[in-house]
Amino acid sequence: MGNRVAVIGAGITKFVRRAQETPPELAWAAASQALDNAGMTLDDIDCVIHGTAPDAFDGVHMKAEYLSAGSGGWGKPYTRTYVGGGTGVFAPIHSWMHLASGKFKTALVVCEEKMSSCQPHPQGAFITIFDHTTERALGPNLLWIFALEQHRYMSVHGIKNEQIALASVKNKHNARGHPSAQIGGELTVEEVLDSEILAYPVHRLMVSPTSDGAAAVVMAVEDVAKAQTGQPVWLEGVGWALDTAYWTNRDLYYPRYVEKAAWMAYEMAGIKKPTEEIDFAEPYDPFAYKELHHLEGLQLAPKGGAPKLLADGYFNRDGKLPSCPSGGLLGVGNPIAAAGMMKICELFWQLRGEAGERQIQKPLRRGVAQAWGDLMQVGTVVVMGT
């Protein structure tokens, strides 16, 4: 199916609450590091892909046009793609189209988000994700939909909040080994549950922070990839799906859009039994329950079964199927699109054995990254392997 496509370099900034850098400066930092890592210069790049979520964060209309200078877009084919929070994992899929189609041989893929510019608080931007005519008048915030979804997930399966809190504990622990991390640390389930309730059942320590940051990869078709590095990491399968915008007409207990996207990617990768054929996962974890919800959508846990596996240590870095070995959004931080791209970077580093103290000790052949977004409706999935 199309040309084989690999990731051959990765770069990342620190994730911080407020960056001094402008958005183009952040984009350049990650992109130039990815190029260096791939042993390439901008002249070697055929096309540039930018992934970034709402314009309301960075505070520039058509913000990817503004970001193109820092992303390497000068004089090159340049497009910006977005699928809300799913963007960071979608950007390499968008890049895959450029390369697998045979149209281009190399691509620089940059994701950036600077949320701190948005005042009085980046959360304010989220009121405008709701339907302007039938929902916004209620004064909704982003926490509502997460809380509504988490509560539905818990009530359908009879899941307890302490089971969910454990995802925060695990990811903040994992993030301690990540040099970009904003809020890694050692926590207990009790501390998570003792943190302030923002929107029942969501506690403060179950929520990823707002962040500024950027992450980037260089991708190439097979002949270039092999010429450039002895360790290309291949995109074996990609999948993406978008559910209806009428989110109050869906049952939120299960992310069927993630399942759809996952099977699209698995079929492309020739995966029939995901739990046996995938060594580790980077599911999207902006909120603690989302990691569990998404592991189920990814077919890596039975419906409603992820909390028990988590409690059993199955998803720990030394478990059967490590999940969020990076530390995830809960630990490393959540500059929306850049956070998804951070997961792609983590697959790249883990599969090359370059993850340092985060390195999973068992042999790794294949990992999956996933992101999610919009009104709980986007699934984006990338399977990468050595």
Partner 1 sequence: MKEPKLGTGLSSRDFFESGRFFTVSYEVRAEYAWDTGPAIGRYLEELKAGRIMGRRCTKCNRVFVPPRAFCELCFRPADDWVPLEDTGTINTFSRCYITWDMQKLTSPEIPAVIEIDGATPGHGIMHMIGGVDPDEIKVGMKVKAVWKPESEREGAITDIKYWKPVS
Partner 2 sequence: MSNHVAIIGCGYTPIRVATPEASYRELTFEAAQRAYADAGISHEEVQSAVCCEEDFIEGISITDEYTPDQLGVVLRSVETVGGDGLHGLGIAAMQIQTGALDIVVVEAHSKASNVLTFDHITEFALDPIWNRPLGFHPEFIAGMEMNRFLHEAKLSVEDCDRIAAKNRTNALSNPIAAYPARMTSEDIAHSPHTCAPLREAHEARRADGAVVLVLASEERAKGAERPVWIRGTGWANDSPTLESRPWGKDGATEAAARIAYEEAGIRDPSREIDLFEVDDLYAHREAMALAALGVKNGAAGVNPSGGSLGMGHTLDAIGLYRAAMCVDAIRSGRSKVALAQSWRGVPTTSVAMSILSVNHG
Partner 3 sequence: MRVASNRNYTAWEGKIPVGWRYTAGLAGQEFLQALKDRGEILGSRCERCEKVYVPASIFCERCFAELNKHEPVKSEGEVVTFAICHRDLEGNPLDPPRVAAAVRLDGATSVLVHNGLGDPAKWKIGARAKVKLAANRTGSILDIEGFELV
Residues of this chain that interact with partner 2 (CB under 8 A) are: 1-2, 22, 53-56, 59-69, 73-84, 90, 94, 96-98, 100-103, 125-126, 128-129, 131-132, 239-246, 256-257, 260-261, 264, 268, 373-375, 377-378
DSSP-derived letter for residue 41 is -
**Amino acid found at 296:** E
Quick one: three-class SS letters along 131-174? CCCCCHHHCCCHHHHHHHHHHHHHHHHCCCHHHHHHHHHHHHHH
Q: Choose which of 2, 39, 41, 65 interacts with partner 3 (CB under 8 A).
A: 41
Looking at the Cβ atoms of 233 and 238, the one nearer to partner 2 is 238
CB of 230 to partner 1, least distance (A): 17
- Identify what 243 binds: partner 3, partner 2, partner 1, none; CB under 5 to 8 Å per kind: partner 2
Looking at the Cβ atoms of 326 and 370, the one nearer to partner 1 is 326
CB of 138 to partner 3, least distance (A): 13
Q: Choose which of 48, 64, 125, 165 interacts with partner 3 (CB under 8 A).
A: 125
Provide φ and ψ at 241, rounded to 5°. -150, 145
Q: Choose which of 41, 123, 190, 365 interacts with partner 1 (CB under 8 A).
A: 123
Query: Is residue 13 part of the contact set for partner 1 (CB under 8 A)?
Result: yes
CB of 249 to partner 1, least distance (A): 5
Q: How far apart are CA 181 and CA 175, in angstroms?
A: 6
Q: Are strands 233-242 and 378-385 parallel, antiparallel or unpaired?
A: antiparallel
Which residues between 337 and 366 bind partner 1 (CB under 8 A)? 345, 349, 354-356
Q: How far apart are CA 325 and CA 322, in angstroms?
A: 6
Looking at the Cβ atoms of 15 and 314, the one nearer to partner 1 is 15
Provide φ and ψ at 65, rounded to 5°. -65, -45
Q: How far apart are CA 123 and CA 133, in angstroms?
A: 20
Q: How far apart are CA 289 and CA 328, in angstroms?
A: 13
Burial class (CB in 10 A: 0-12, 13-18, 19+), 68: buried
CB of 110 to partner 2, least distance (A): 13
Count of positions (residues) in the chain: 386
Which residues between 30 and 59 bind partner 1 (CB under 8 A)? 30, 32-33, 37, 59
CB of 380 to partner 1, least distance (A): 21
Pick the piece of the chain touching partner 1 (CB under 8 A) from 72-80, 102-110, 130-138, 187-195.
Answer: 130-138
Q: Choose which of 127, 156, 199, 252 interacts with partner 3 (CB under 8 A).
A: 127
Which tokens go with 15? 């994730």
Q: How many CB atoms lie within 10 A of CB 308?
A: 14
Q: How far apart are CA 375 and CA 367, in angstroms?
A: 26
Provide φ and ψ at 180, rounded to 5°. -90, -5
Pick the piece of the chain touching partner 3 (CB under 8 A) from 40-48, 164-172, 284-292, 375-383.
Answer: 40-48
Pick the piece of the chain touching partner 1 (CB under 8 A) from 25-33, 264-272, 312-320, 364-372.
Answer: 25-33
Which tokens go with 225? 């990839």
Pick the piece of the chain touching partner 3 (CB under 8 A) from 5-13, 17-25, 333-341, 371-379.
Answer: 17-25
Q: How far apart are CA 258 and CA 279, in angstroms?
A: 19
Helix (H, G, I), strand (E, B) or coil at 235: strand
